[in-house]
């Protein structure tokens, strides 16, 4: 804490000094508790599996080995899952934004008479829903089971939380006078929205776009419930098979501990590697987009 | 209000009250813009609500969404008389209440703690780090737990073995709830603290000055200035949390389940999945699901009403 100069420390009450020390201590512990597991996965994925499994890899990688990554790159399941998830994420997010942004704009217009009713119409779905089975029946009746569409059109396509964030942003950042001036010049709502509102709303578009994108990327539920065809499965389902069902090697070897500790230790390295590979896009983007995520919570919290 | 309208009518007799219908021509573009979202929500959120009646009907493959013959409360009775009923209720409540009791205060404490840090850079680093796990997928989180807690090879497993905790924690009935709740706190505590940090940032600096002049120490400032300032935020979030008291994280529990911890890890939502999607007993599963939804919704209304009476803070 360089900002605390010496005389400030001296002038402090002893109780406050103890308090500050406790704060620093807890913060340092917090930092390590959160950061260490993530760091450990990274070093374990490139270390010799024998050292990892005996607890010798703690702070630095030992006995460099890329066995795990080699296995992953050779595994077609991972690539099919990756490809599917990339497609679902980007196309899905595009549709999400296409529906959410105009709707939020309309709900931000105070002269729109049905505004209050429609707000209730959307918010009600946050607190009450049909539940798993009726939703499954609906998807079946619409013939969406085992199709990629179910990842894009589902009960979360219009996420009400994101809708509220966007509406609040429009309300607070698009002055009413601006629309009135535009109307004077013969501007319609369509034109006003696409040429004036959208360019002014890059921040909120980025926020909710990233929310939707991360949600699609991490979506495991949709694949589990609605998809049987393995070629359509998203990355998260493939990950489940590798990480949790222990089907580490696509040929089926090494599963269920048939090879004893030896195979398990190599299987574990594949698992460390696959955690990194699957989380990489989010982890790389994270430092850059973190401020946007935070912004989203702050915009949304202004008005519930 | 009435007098204002009366005078308006007198001055300009042609001005009518604006309604949805007579503004339709003016606002047709707005309607076009919101219509896709409305249609999508009706189809994917409201039609399933209509489909809830399946819980009161016999499932019939040919009849589609709403089911066949009306059977009333048959499936609810079947569920309540089932030998699993009390186990499911107990597990669901145990997991969700522990999650709220431990998981709800944690972000408040973290926000108060982070708010104490005056070193800007350190604060930034800590925040960036504690928000990160929120973006890890549930599958990766459970996978992480599995490899780290593995008794012979995992780093936490080895550490716990040295501390005298033997055996496979992942297959243990006693360890399931602590592992579930603690990993949940680990993943979301940072992210959930943002909203409290925002509330703390809005505290009037004059209050701090006044407290310091009165000779308050830091602990007293937290207790008498900061906590009262974030009480409204706390209450709103508590109501929202209570509304989902019985909807435990299906995905995470489902992924953490194994045959050994099943006595404690089988909750209503995983049971709905197994009876409905896996075993095709659709009507029965729909009834159990509705039971779950009703308890959630009732809890939300009750807590909201209490909060409204006690603190005048309410969701609606």
Q: What is the pLDDT of residues B140-156, one digit of tens each?
A: 999 989 888 887 777 78
How many residues are recorded in chain B? 316
Residues 6 or more apart whose CB falls under 8 angstroms from that of A120 comprise none
ipTM of the complex: 0.85
**Neighbour tally for A202: CB within 10 Å:** 10
pTM summary value = 0.86
Q: 8-47 in B: which are within 8 Å (CB) of A?
A: 18-20, 23, 27, 29-31, 33-34, 36-38, 40-41, 43-47
Residues B42 and B111 in one domain: no
Of B44 and A126, more confident: B44
In a domain, B280, yes or no: yes
Residues B204 and B293 in one domain: yes
Are A301 and B233 within 8 A, CB to CB? Answer: yes
> What percent of chain A has pLDDT above 90?
37
Nearest CB to B117 within list A27, A105, A220 = A27
Q: Is the pLDDT of residue B7 over 50?
A: no
Of A276 and B300, more confident: A276
- How far apart are alpha carbons A181 and A185 in whole angstroms? 7
When mean pLDDT is compared across A49-63, A164-178, A213-227, B188-202, the lowest value belongs to A49-63
A254–chain B nearest CA distance, Å:
15
Q: What DSSP string runs through A254-271?
A: TGGGTTHHHHHHHHHHHH
What integer pLDDT is reported at residue A199 of this predicted model?
92
Nearest CB to A137 within list B51, B159, B243 = B51
Are B135 and A103 within 8 A, CB to CB? Answer: no
* pLDDT tier for residue B138 given thresholds of 50, 70 and 90: very high
Helix (H, G, I), strand (E, B), or coil: what is residue B70?
A: strand
A176–chain B nearest CA distance, Å:
16
Of B245 and A198, more confident: A198
* pLDDT tier for residue A233 given thresholds of 50, 70 and 90: very high
Residues B38 and B131 in one domain: no
CATH of A67-303 among 1.10.150.120, 3.40.640.10, 1.10.3720.10, 3.40.47.10: 1.10.3720.10
Residues B30 and B93 in one domain: no
Residues 6 or more apart whose CB falls under 8 angstroms from that of B224 comprise B211, B216
Q: 174-193 in B: which are within 8 Å (CB) of A?
A: 186, 190-191
What integer pLDDT is reported at residue B279 of this predicted model?
92
Residues B24 and B129 in one domain: no
Q: Is the pLDDT of residue B284 over 90?
A: yes
A104–chain B nearest CA distance, Å:
8
B51-B55-B61-B64 Cα dihedral, nearest 10 degrees: -10
Cβ pair A176, A197 in contact under 8 A: no
Domains identified in chain B, total number: 2
CA dihedral for B180, B267, A211, A75, sign (positive or negative): positive
The Cβ-side half-sphere exposure at B296, using a 13 Å CA radius, reads: 24
Mean pLDDT on B55-80: 83
Encode pLDDT of A101-149 as tens digits. 999 999 999 889 899 999 999 988 888 888 899 999 999 999 999 999 9
> What percent of chain B has pLDDT above 90?
35
Encode pLDDT of B184-201 as tens digits. 999 999 988 988 988 888
Q: For residue B24, give its domain range.
A: 20-71
What integer pLDDT is reported at residue A16 of this predicted model?
80
Closest among A96, A121, A286 to A209, alpha carbons compared: A96
For residue A90, the Cα-to-chain-centroid distance in whole angstroms is 13
Encode pLDDT of A258-303 as tens digits. 445 567 778 888 888 999 988 888 888 787 777 776 777 776 655 4
Are A134 and B51 within 8 A, CB to CB? Answer: yes
DSSP state of B202: T
Residues B67 and B172 in one domain: no
Residues B124 and B184 in one domain: yes
Of B139 and B164, more confident: B139
Are B136 and A279 within 8 A, CB to CB? Answer: yes
Residues 6 or more apart whose CB falls under 8 angstroms from that of A231 comprise A80
Which residues of chain A have a CB within 8 Å of the CB of B236? 304
- Taking the alpha carbons at both ends of chain B, their separation in whole angstroms is 24
Helix (H, G, I), strand (E, B), or coil: what is residue B57?
A: strand
Residue B216 φ/ψ, nearest 5 degrees: -75, 140
Cβ pair B224, B202 in contact under 8 A: no
Are B27 and A275 within 8 A, CB to CB? Answer: no
What integer pLDDT is reported at residue B15 of this predicted model?
61
Task: Find the CATH number of the domain harbouring B286.
Answer: 1.10.3720.10
What integer pLDDT is reported at residue B236 of this predicted model?
83
- How far apart are alpha carbons A75 and A270 in whole angstroms? 11
Q: What are the angstrom distances between the C-alpha of B58 and each of A142, A150, B47, B61? A: 20, 26, 19, 10
How many residues are recorded in chain A? 304
In a domain, B129, yes or no: yes
Residues 6 or more apart whose CB falls under 8 angstroms from that of B204 comprise none
Mean pLDDT on B93-116: 91
Residues B63 and B171 in one domain: no
Q: 54-93 in B: which are within 8 Å (CB) of A?
A: 54, 64-65
Residues B56 and B132 in one domain: no
Q: What are the angstrom distances between the C-alpha of A209 and each of A86, A205, B19, B200? A: 14, 6, 34, 27
Instruction: List chain A domain ranges.
Output: 67-303
Which residues of chain A have a CB within 8 Å of the CB of B36? 98-99, 102-103
Residues B177 and B67 in one domain: no
Residues B67 and B98 in one domain: no
DSSP alpha helix (H) spans, chain A:
6-11, 14-45, 49-53, 67-74, 76-108, 115-127, 132-141, 149-152, 160-173, 176-184, 189-192, 198-200, 202-218, 221-226, 235-243, 260-302
Which residues of chain A have a CB within 8 Å of the CB of B303? none
Cβ pair B85, B288 in contact under 8 A: no
Residue B130: is it exposed, middle or buried by C-beta count within 10 angstroms (0-12/13-18/19+)? buried
When mean pLDDT is compared across A90-94, A155-159, B39-43, B193-197, the lowest value belongs to B193-197
Residues B84 and B67 in one domain: no
């Amino acid at each position: 804490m360089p900002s605390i100069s010496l005389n400030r420390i001296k002038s402090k009450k002893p109780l406050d000094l103890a308090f500050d020390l406790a704060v620093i201590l807890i913060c340092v512990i917090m930092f390590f508790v959160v950061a260490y597991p993530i760091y450990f996965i990274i070093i374990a994925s490139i270390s010799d599996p024998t050292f990892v499994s005996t607890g010798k890899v703690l702070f630095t990688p030992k006995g460099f080995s890329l066995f795990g990554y080699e296995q992953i790159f050779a595994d077609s399941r991972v690539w099919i899952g990756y490809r599917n998830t990339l497609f679902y994420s980007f196309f899905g997010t595009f549709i999400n934004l296409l529906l959410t942004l105009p709707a939020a704009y309309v709900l931000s217009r105070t002269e729109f008479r049905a505004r209050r009713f429609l707000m209730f119409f959307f918010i009600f779905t946050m607190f009450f829903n049909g539940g798993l089975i009726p939703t499954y029946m609906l998807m079946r009746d619409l013939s969406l089971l085992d199709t990629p569409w179910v990842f894009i059109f589902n009960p979360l396509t219009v996420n009400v939380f994101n809708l509220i964030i966007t509406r609040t942003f429009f309300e607070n950042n698009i002055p009413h006078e601006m629309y009135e001036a535009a109307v004077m010049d013969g501007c319609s709502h369509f034109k006003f929205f696409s040429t004036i509102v959208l360019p002014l709303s890059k921040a909120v578009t980025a926020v909710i776009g990233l929310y939707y994108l991360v949600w699609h990327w991490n979506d495991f539920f949709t694949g589990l419930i609605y998809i049987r065809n393995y070629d359509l499965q998203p990355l998260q389902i493939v990950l489940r098979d590798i990480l949790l069902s222990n089907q580490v090697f696509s040929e089926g070897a090494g599963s269920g501990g048939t090879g004893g500790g030896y195979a398990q230790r190599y299987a574990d390295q594949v698992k460390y590697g696959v955690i990194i590979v699957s989380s990489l896009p989010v982890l790389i983007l994270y430092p850059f987009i973190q401020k946007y995520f935070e912004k989203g919570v702050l915009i949304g919290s202004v008005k519930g | 209000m009435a007098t204002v309208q009366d005078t308006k009518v007198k001055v300009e007799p042609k001005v009518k009250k604006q309604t949805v219908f007579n503004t339709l021509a003016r606002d047709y573009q707005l309607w076009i813009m919101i219509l896709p979202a409305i249609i999508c929500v009706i189809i994917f959120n409201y039609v399933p609500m209509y489909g809830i009646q399946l819980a009161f009907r016999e499932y019939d493959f040919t009849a589609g969404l709403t089911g066949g013959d009306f059977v009333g409360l048959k499936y609810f009775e079947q569920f309540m008389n089932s030998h699993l009923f009390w186990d499911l209720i107990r597990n669901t409540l145990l997991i969700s209440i522990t999650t709220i009791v431990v998981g709800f205060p944690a972000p408040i404490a973290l926000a108060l703690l982070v708010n104490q840090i005056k070193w800007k850079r350190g604060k930034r680093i800590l925040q960036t780090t504690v928000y990160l796990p929120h973006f890890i997928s549930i599958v990766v989180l459970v996978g992480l737990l599995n490899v780290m807690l593995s008794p012979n090879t995992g780093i936490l497993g080895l550490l716990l073995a040295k501390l005298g905790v033997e055996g496979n924690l992942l297959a243990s009935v006693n360890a399931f709830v602590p592992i579930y709740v603690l990993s949940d706190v680990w993943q979301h505590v940072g992210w959930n603290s943002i909203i409290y940090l925002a509330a703390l940032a809005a505290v009037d600096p004059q209050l701090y000055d006044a407290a310091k002049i009165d000779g308050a120490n830091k602990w007293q400032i937290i207790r008498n200035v900061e906590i009262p300032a974030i009480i409204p935020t706390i209450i709103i979030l508590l109501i929202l949390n209570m509304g989902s008291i019985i909807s435990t994280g299906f995905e995470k529990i489902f992924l953490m389940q194994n045959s050994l911890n099943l006595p404690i890890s089988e909750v209503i939502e995983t049971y709905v999945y197994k009876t409905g999607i896996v075993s095709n007993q659709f009507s029965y599963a729909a009834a159990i699901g509705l039971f779950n939804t009703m308890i959630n919704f009732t809890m939300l209304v009750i807590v909201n009403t209490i909060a409204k009476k006690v603190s005048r803070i309410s969701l609606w």
